[in-house]
Amino acid sequence: MKTKTIISKFVILSFSIVIISLVIMSSNYYEIYSGKKYGKDIISRLEQYRHSHGIYPIKLDSIDLPENQETSEVMFHGYSYIYYFMSDCEFSLSFNKKDGTWTYYSNANKWYEGDGIDSINAFRSKLYSQYLLESCNNKERTILRIKVERKERDSVLSCNNIESGSVVYVIKKYENAGFAGKGYALYDSGTKVLKQIGTWTLFTKAGLSFLAFYGSGTTNKPVIDYLQNKINL
């Protein structure tokens, strides 16, 4: 009799633990579901803004969602969201809850658990490979080359640890297609060669954009990694 009582208590305890676990899991799932649902409302506003202005807004203030000046967070339906403008047609949106962080990346049109850095970097690498292939096959051409003012030139040179040079702002397009890239370049008037420097916005033929940083080294190979600390590359 005593053994049966112990077994019964054990079964009840085990059942209670299972029920509590299911309730907790259900609660976490609902929080994640709601965070993505309300995030979708923000994403919809961002897409409407891009449709009207051609690019995403720098801050959520532009879509009537005031950001906290100290933390850059936006409270929306009880969730804290952080928006990061990455390039003209690229952004990330994150929200935090007790179970962790979820991050949406616009180019992938997908939510990632955590900060999503590895997944975003992998996606950007694919975009860059696609860009290289398309720019090779479609012959990029410079449609605009603007010589910048002295103050702007000095700032660009300083930011890129370059002592001197002629700096121009360049816009490139694909042959018979849309924008291919835009950013600063060093211009050699003797050879007529342009060397990309600093932060560039690159575009695939489908219009997906991403940032690339061209250093001042001889290889001029760009860095395209998404950085969590949100510094200006």
> Is 80 exceeded by the pLDDT of residue 55?
yes
The model's pLDDT over 127-146, given as tens digits with 9 standing for 90+, comes to: 999 988 888 877 777 777 77
The dihedral region occupied by 126, where left means phi > 0, alpha psi between -120 and 50, and beta the remainder, is alpha
Using one digit for the tens of pLDDT, what is the confidence trace for 71-128?
788 888 889 899 999 888 899 999 987 777 899 999 999 999 888 888 999 999 999 9
Integer Cα distance of 81 and 60 in angstroms:
10
Lowest mean pLDDT among 6-20, 56-70, 85-99, 166-180: 6-20
Calculate the CA dihedral of residues 129, 233, 67, 64 and round it to 10 degrees: -50
pTM reported for the whole predicted model: 0.75
| Per-residue model confidence as pLDDT tens digits over 194-213 | 888 888 999 988 888 888 88
- Classify residue 63 by its DSSP letter: G
Spatial contact of 81 and 93, defined as CB atoms under 8 Å apart: yes
Average pLDDT, the chain: 80
- For the chain, the distance separating the N- and C-terminal CA atoms, rounded to the nearest angstrom, is 73
pLDDT tens digits, 11-42: 454 444 444 443 344 457 788 888 999 999 99
Mean pLDDT of 187-191: 85
In this structure, are residues 95 and 79 in contact, taking their beta carbons and an 8 Å threshold?
yes
Beta strands in the chain (DSSP E): 73-76, 79-87, 90-97, 100-105, 110-113, 141-147, 167-173, 179-188, 193-203, 209-214, 222-223
